[in-house]
Chains A and B, each alone.
Chain A
Amino acid sequence: MKARKLVSLILSVMMIIMLFAGCTSQTAQPAPSEPEKPAEQPAEEPKADKILKFGGTGFGGLFNPIMSDNTYDTYVADILFEKLVTNNAEGEMVPVLAEWTISEDKLTYTFTLKDGIKFSDGSDLTTEDVAFTYETIAHPDYNGPRAYAVSSMVGYEEFHSGASDTFEGIKIIDDKTISFTFGEGLAAPANIESFLYGIMPSDYYAFDTWEDFLALNEKPIGSGMMVFDSWEPKQFIKLMKNTNYWDPDNGAKIDGILISEVPDESILSALQTEQIDFAQISSSAENLQAAEALSNISIANFLGNGYTFMCFNTIKPQLSDVRVRQALMYALDRESFIEAQYGAGLATVGMAPISPSSWAFPDSSELNAYKFDMAKAAQLMDEAGWTMGNDGFRYKDGEKFHVNWLVYTDSSWPGTLSGMAADTWKQLGVELEIELMDFDTVSSRTMDAAPGEKDFDIYTMGFSLNIDPDPSGALFDDDAYVAGGFNASGYKNAEAMKLVKAGKAEFDTAKRAEIYKEWAKIMNYEIPHVIIAYRSEIWGINNRVKGMDLGTFRTWDQCLKNITIE
């Protein structure tokens, strides 16, 4: 009996070992593959160490320049497909496949393709392919997110509705020359951004039904310096060097790119163990500190092109007075918020609705940073007629000052900010109700809802920006105050709109900068949308990777031809 007891005790102890240190018993079988790995790889694939390894989350599988709708798929599309133009590190447009001229009336863009451009399958890239790419965006069945790239060109409506078989605004002049004409009155320097989409080979992508076209999303062919090798959904994407690249002198100096799905939690560990070469690290003081402690990586820390904002529903009686909006901002300690959320130096207090790295950003001394000042906040509230009641809340005409704030939990900063506001606004006499929800719900209650049905007082969100500072169509456009439009504030200002329109159409950069400066000052005072912060991006890059000069206007795929691996 005793012996049996002993045996079962041993058995149960073994089980515990299997459970916890369980790895040991589990390793037994697959272990042989593990020590082989380092030895076997160089032998079978001599250049595996010349493959650049990127890690991140969120690859979708739409590897197509006109269909991709998230950052990561867009990286892949931008590497595999070349565009007519791109931007340099300063944010200026430069030729890739074609040089261009702009007509006298600024409406027609004529592109001349460089010589000898070939797709990776060996076929020539001609204006036929350029026209095909843009006509596909205008196709009646097109269901991707890029319709705006062609919708202001002449003849879009007719072509898109199917009424016409030809797109009047796109003219093939010869094999090498093609012109695009924008509609009357729509001349704008930002129109060049319509040509930032990769060119697809018309023979390969020709389709009878839209489903045929979509089926090629996972089998892309372009003219870039990499070709698509393989992918496994939600695991990895493998690109290999395009050995037939048409411009061999500027081709890739690495043998391939491996993009792996790595969860946020593991990014730093993956960099540390060199399972990836580089990745974006989510911006926080702890992460920066942990990344700096790793000796095998260097850190790129630069301002991101975007901002976070807070929107006031100015239709609501308690928020229609500019003094109230300003009081709420004075009573919000954004410097402490930035310190708590991102760490000092990883974000700055927002002022103008323009990226600080843009030429259009005004001198900060002319803008109000709404520095934390409770006395000033209280004074503004008093002036606006909201007087402090006995219960510690402010009242006007018997109405208590109550606001709700839609906070999405998909990222953490709206929660931090609203939590801090709950404390300081309470001292100001404001009753704040924080409603937690997901991103989609926030946007459906704010932007999607028709004016008059917008069910919120305050919401917060983050936006990334284009290089061109033109704000039309977005948060500050009076015309975007409709169901599905981006302006949910209900604030209208004819003078500001005149500036927006003038800025959009002005081709002289110095004059444009003046216009936007005026406009930014108005918005900084009126704050229907207040810019909360400009955030920095942190990237960790392994020391073996050289030539990756990231910046606000320079993504890693744009550095590709300079990248070498030691």
Chain B
Amino acid sequence: MKNYIIRRIIQMIPVFIGILFILFFILEQAPGTPVSNMMIPKMTPEQKAELAQKLGLDIPWYERFVNWIGEALHGNLGYSINHKKPVVEVMKDYVGPTLLLSLVSLAISVIIGIPAGVISATKQYSITDNILTVVSFIGISIPSFFFGLLLLKNFAVDVQIFPLFGLKNPLLMSTNPVDKALDVAWHLVLPSIVLGLGSTASFMRYTRSSMLEVIKQDYIRTARAKGLKEKTVIYRHAFRNAVIPIITLLGFWIPSLLSGAVVTETIFALPGLGKISVEATMTRNYPLILGINAMLAVLTLMGALAADILYAIADPRIRYD
């Protein structure tokens, strides 16, 4: 197992460099530069050109690619053009809220989605199953901006239970950490429902189909024939086998924890990575685009590895040697 993990990590390096190379190439092909959007009529073309030169835009992209990797090995991802501070620090500012929001909504979707999927599968074609199926299709298909605005209209404007924007109440003077945590939790309720709904629904569908497949297996019939209680059959014998594909799914979920949810973040004015990556793209903030995407690439690769390892742990038949 140890050898397997080491081998996999070594294999990741060329893949990662390949991803970066493609990223640099795409950015080079995209029209526009970080100075294109500076609409200050008093600025002369020479002054614009000087700024571009200070950003290193006069260097060919393949050279920038090599330089970037060299610097990145020393932990330096460059300066974010719009923020005028190191990319690492910009990412630090925004990673917390994104991670918090995605973990809460992932927790919601796992806690609700998986049991609901199990119930749905064991009661296939019952009223319960039908209702859950309809709900999950609504969950998958409702656009998050619409659902978000609907919740805001109902619970932040008509009935003012929840705040309209932000992650913290800046006028909260209390220094008690419990109050602060409650304040953040109170701000996160609506966004995590919006973000959680879609993934709850997909977890429910995955669990349902995976359970249905397992329940039809011979060993489940054998278990029932042994006279085991239905609960034991479902949760000990069927569920453990059905959960394996779900674990794989969770591994691939890791990068999306940090990629942010642009729409949800925008509607609820949450300071997340999704929103700044879109901004960075629109303004051609190359260093920040590269920083965020490099991080996501690493997470995707790690997520795939984590899924494989978890797979082996959950299923004793799988051995990597």
Contact = CB atoms under 8 A, between A and B. Distances in A.
Interface of A: 5, 8-9, 11-13, 15-16, 18-19, 22-23, 26-27, 29-30, 32-34, 37, 40-41, 44-45, 48, 51, 55, 57, 60-62, 67, 69, 141, 143, 145, 147-148, 151, 214-215, 217-218, 230, 232-236, 238, 258, 260-263, 265-266, 269-270, 272-273, 275, 410, 437-441, 443-445, 447-448, 461, 463, 466, 473-475, 480, 482-486
Contacts of B131: 12-13, 16
A234 B123 contact: no
B38 A234 contact: no
A9 B128 contact: yes
Interface in B152-196: 152-153, 155-157, 160-174, 179, 182-183, 185-186, 189-190, 192-193
B37 A443 contact: yes
Interface string B90-121: 00011000000000000000001000100110
Given A29-B185, A232-B170, A439-B282, A151 B165 contact: no
Q: A234, A258, A466, A473 — which one has the most chain B CB atoms within 10 A of its CB? A: A234
Contact of B128 (A8, A18, A461): A8
Contacts of A33: 179, 182-183, 186
Given A33-B186, A473-B41, A5 B33 contact: no
Given A147-B47, A266-B164, A269-B157, 12 more contacts: A12-B116, A12-B120, A23-B161, A30-B182, A232-B271, A236-B170, A260-B170, A263-B165, A266-B267, A438-B32, A440-B33, A466-B41
B83 interface: yes
B303 to A, nearest CB: 26
B214 interface: no
Interface residues of B, number: 84
B185 A30 contact: yes
* Nearest 7 CB-CB pairings of A with B: A440-B32, A234-B271, A474-B41, A484-B45, A33-B182, A444-B32, A30-B186
Contact of B156 (A30, A40, A41, A269): A269
A298 B36 CA distance: 38
Nearest to A447: B36
A23 B185 contact: no
B32 A443 contact: yes
Nearest to A143: B54
B317 interface: no
B157 A145 contact: no
Contacts of B163: 275
A19 B173 contact: no
Nearest to B197: A19
Contact of B267 (A26, A27, A263): A263
B164 A235 contact: no
Contacts of A438: 32, 282
Contacts of B42: 148, 466, 473
A5 B31 CA distance: 60
Contacts of B153: 269
